[in-house]
A = this chain, B = another copy of it.
């Protein structure tokens, strides 16, 4: 198989972690006889520094021309503390999601048995948890009209959904539920929001096309609670952009650390694969970041964009083996981990490659 893959490291720890996602893809190419060619492009704070634009035209053109994209992270503390900045790194990420039509963000919460102890939740609460989130990614209050009045006394963002936006992601989520435990939980705030009421109506309609899947509707506040109380009760979770952002970060604690979670953003064209963790500038360049989420993002790319299930499995197994052998990065170590087993980004990457 011949594929051309674009690497967009982005900001902060993005460079360090995508290095390892890429090396794993190269290795898979060698071992399985695929021709993966790689290109690189800039985005976010890095791109603002270089060009003034968080998503330069050249990056967008390369992205559209590639078969799949491996992305690192975005953001910089400088903008976080300056709410009045007009140009911001995140605009690059939001624009590429929109331009590539990446309306479905898949976030699997995969629990490695070896990491049961790394979580703040009790092992008996966690054991057996396996959730697949479908977060809508190109609508909601993220992309609605924004306003600020002239004297800075008022600001607004329009939360909104079109019926077709809900339909297409709902179908993807139901299709996935069919191949899993046949349960789908749709999360909204239909007791308050009109947007959520439309969401719920549409999901109720699509549900009729999937009589073999059991549907539940849950309010976001309750879902945020149930996820901690009893994560096992979820199979596929379908939700809007903002609620999905919140719930999946919360769910990262189930997997022991954000450093473990990969995500796939797909739509009708090129797929986009990224860890759910952020740019973590506080540890950038210190060889401390956990590269596993980027490596697992590469596995999702092999599986979802290229249909290479065996190769994807080989990567996931390599990660599982490494954890089984006791190797940990700092974020997934705990008080009983031997100091000699705690690795830096690079050493962890190498263990998985082996």
Contacts and interface: CB of A to CB of B under 8 A. Distances in A.
Interface of A: 75, 79-81, 83-84, 88, 90, 94, 120-122, 125, 141-142, 144, 146-148, 152-164, 189-201, 204, 217, 219-222, 224-225, 227-230, 242, 245-250, 252-253, 258, 278
Contacts of A153: 162-164
In the complex, which of the residues A75, A121, A204 has the most CB atoms of chain B within 10 Å of its own CB atom? A121
B194 A146 contact: yes
A155 B198 contact: yes
Contacts of A146: 193-194
Contact of A225 (B125, B196, B229, B253): B253
**What are the 9 closest A-B residue pairs judged by CB atoms, nearest first?**
A155-B198, A156-B160, A83-B197, A221-B249, A146-B194, A224-B250, A228-B253, A83-B200, A120-B125
A81 B155 contact: no
A163 B157 contact: no
Given A159-B159, A246-B246, 15 more contacts: A75-B191, A83-B198, A83-B200, A83-B204, A120-B125, A121-B121, A141-B193, A152-B201, A154-B163, A155-B160, A157-B194, A158-B158, A220-B246, A228-B228, A250-B250
30 contacts: A80-B190, A80-B217, A81-B217, A83-B196, A83-B198, A83-B204, A90-B191, A94-B192, A120-B121, A120-B125, A121-B228, A122-B122, A152-B163, A153-B164, A154-B163, A156-B160, A156-B161, A156-B195, A157-B158, A157-B194, A159-B159, A189-B245, A221-B250, A222-B278, A224-B224, A224-B246, A224-B247, A225-B258, A228-B250, A250-B250
